[in-house]
Structure formats: C-alpha cells, structure tokens
Homo-oligomer: A and B are copies of this chain.
Amino acid sequence: MKLTEAKQQFISSWGAFGTQWGINRTMAQIHALLLVSPDPITQDDIMEQLSISRGNVNMNIRDLISWNLVERVILPGERKEYFTAEKDIWKVATQIIRERKKRELDPMLKLLGQLEDVDGDKKDKETKQFVEMIGSIKKLGNHADKVLDVLIKAEENWFTGSLLKVFK
C-alpha cells in the first residue's frame, strides 16, 4: 500500500473510531494527521490535507491543546504558528485517561455522592433498589478511579510488557 493511501485510511478510520468514543470526528482526524506528521505543520496545511475550513481547524486544534495532546510551536523567523502532537503514544493514552477521569469520572462520583441519601423507608422496594444501585455504582467508580491511577503510574514499563506481569 502506498503511503498517501495508508495515511488517508488511517486518518479516516481514526476519525470514525473517535466518534464511537464521543470525540468529534474532525478533532480525531486532526490528531491522527499530527501523529503521523514528523514535523510541525500549520493551520493551512491541516485545512488543505483534510479539506476543512479555517474556523473548524482552529476550534479543534484549541480543543486538542486543552487536552494536552497538541502544542503550538513558534518557528524562529516564521510568522505563522505551527502545531505538533505528542508522539509517545503511551503518554497520549495516559493523558486522555487523566483528562477523562477529571472531566467525567470525578463529576459523576460527586453526583452519586449526592444521590446516595434519599429520604424514605429503606424497607420500600423502590428506595432500597435505588440506594443499593447508587452505592454500588459509586463503589465501582471509586474502584475504576484507583485502577486507572495505578495504570497511569505504570507508565515506564508498558512498552516492554513488564506491566502485565505485575498486573497479573
């Protein structure tokens, strides 16, 4: 397979994959493009390669930056801004985990804490089921929180496969 074709395929699939995970297709595609670009590129490069508008590139790049997956690069002597993505894929993964934990898991746990104490008779079947369910989801959430922390900290070993031994 030719590079151009493979790249195209990768970007498009990465976009589709992203949408399944609640990530804007274009944002995922820009990320994919940056991942396979050895050097920093400009907004115009992205516009051209993905055939999307300037506004779209700008908004999604800013979003990627807020996820700490992409950064602005100022090349000396150049007027334009360049962008580059973190290339260490394990760092990418842990960063995404970290952010989603912060943005989604933490708020959810906070909510569950609030819902935990409803007034009413614990003997009532409906109340009992509700309280128990909230409690066990909260417990699962806290568990996930800890497991993910361990994962994030295991950073160094993943590539060699030594994490899994510890893990098991």
Contact = CB atoms under 8 A, between A and B. Distances in A.
Interface string A4-29: 00110110010001011111000000
Contacts of A143: 158, 161, 163-164
A17 B117 CA distance: 21
B147 A164 contact: yes
Interface in A85-120: 87, 89-90, 93, 104, 108, 111, 114-115, 117-120
Interface of A: 1-3, 6-7, 9-10, 13, 17, 19-23, 35-39, 87, 89-90, 93, 104, 108, 111, 114-115, 117-120, 125-130, 133-134, 136-137, 139-140, 143-144, 146-147, 150-151, 158-159, 161, 163-164, 166-168
Nearest to A115: B6
Contact of A118 (B6, B130, B136, B164): B6
